[in-house]
Structure 1
Amino acid sequence: MPRRWGPAVVLAVLGVVLGVVERNVASPIVFLVLAALVSPRAFPRSVSDAEARERSSQDGRPIIYWRPGCPFCIRLRARVGRLSRRAHWVDIWADPQGAAGVRAITGGDETVPTVVFRGEGFVNPAPARVVEMISSTGR
């Protein structure tokens, strides 16, 4: 659990320290907003890799592997917007099987975001492509 929240906690503490040192309110606010964006709470509820694969085989929705603090995951989440609930999200720091699945797709690296759609893996795909994938499921 601490590993998942680490980036958010570091940003929050840094913001508070800068606010005290600089005696202003802008730094803490900026850093607290950044901390919220990189926290696990900014993403839809994660499921296990096994659950995501099971659900995806039934409903055809993509599986998105991510990890807290990843700037590319944050960019993808922001671009997908409300459609994010129509994908299955797997936090690779919370699910070792998910991390192993990503390594199998990427050739040994834990590069995220990695998206699996209709049995095909995509490493750090363009957000517009993921929106297309999600939209094509029609649900």
Structure 2
Amino acid sequence: MMRAWILPILLVLCGSVLAAGLIFSETVGPAAAVLLVFVLLAAVNSPLLSPRSIGALEAQRRSAADGRPVVFWRPGCKYCFRLRVRLGRSARQLHWVDIWRDPAGAAAVRAANNGNETVPTVVVAGQPHTNPDPAWVRKQLSRSA
């Protein structure tokens, strides 16, 4: 769990150091702007804005019952973030598995990607698809409904 917070913490620390340097040079306005940018970057990369995750076994059980895809992801992954943003509200209908929190999920991703933990990996009807186009995922989601 701590691994997911490393990048946001580093972003806030770097922003704080830069802002402090600007404050010491008596430029308070730009210091506030720099700090705000770094805090926003930290928020975007934090687990707070991440989808609600469930375990891999539970996700597979739910997917078998309702036919919706399972998305294996991890915090800080820009491709996972892109998928989540481009799916919009329909992202809530997917079953999300954080591979950093669930060892079974990480094992499933490694099995699908020749030993690599490449995410996002979307499983539709038992078939894994690595970093698929968000439009394709949306189409698969509409088919399952």
Matches within 5 A, 1:1-139: 1-23=1-23, 24-138=31-145
Residue 59 of structure 1 deviates from its aligned partner by 0.6
Gaps of 5+ in 2: 24-30
2:122 is paired with a residue whose SS is strand
Query: Which has the greater radius of gyration?
Result: 2
TM-score calculated relative to the size of structure 1: 0.93
Residue 106 of structure 1 deviates from its aligned partner by 0.5
1:125 is paired with a residue whose SS is coil
- Cα distance in 1 for partners of 2:93, 2:108 equals 20
Residue 137 of structure 1 deviates from its aligned partner by 2.1
Residue 95 of structure 1 deviates from its aligned partner by 0.5
- Cα distance in 2 for partners of 1:133, 1:12 equals 38
- Corresponding residue pairs, total: 138
Gaps of 5+ in 1: none
Greater shift in the superposed pair: 55-64 or 24-33: 24-33
User: Contact 1:15–1:28 (CA<8 Å) still a contact in 2?
Assistant: yes
TM-score calculated relative to the size of structure 2: 0.90
Residue 119 of structure 1 deviates from its aligned partner by 1.0
- Cα distance in 2 for partners of 1:136, 1:32 equals 39
> Identical aligned pairs, as a percentage?
49
Residues 20 and 118 of structure 1, relative CA distance in 2, 3 Å threshold: same
Residue 93 of structure 1 deviates from its aligned partner by 0.4
User: Contact 1:4–1:94 (CA<8 Å) still a contact in 2?
Assistant: no
1:25 is paired with a residue whose SS is helix
Q: What residue identity is the alignment partner of 2:19?
A: G
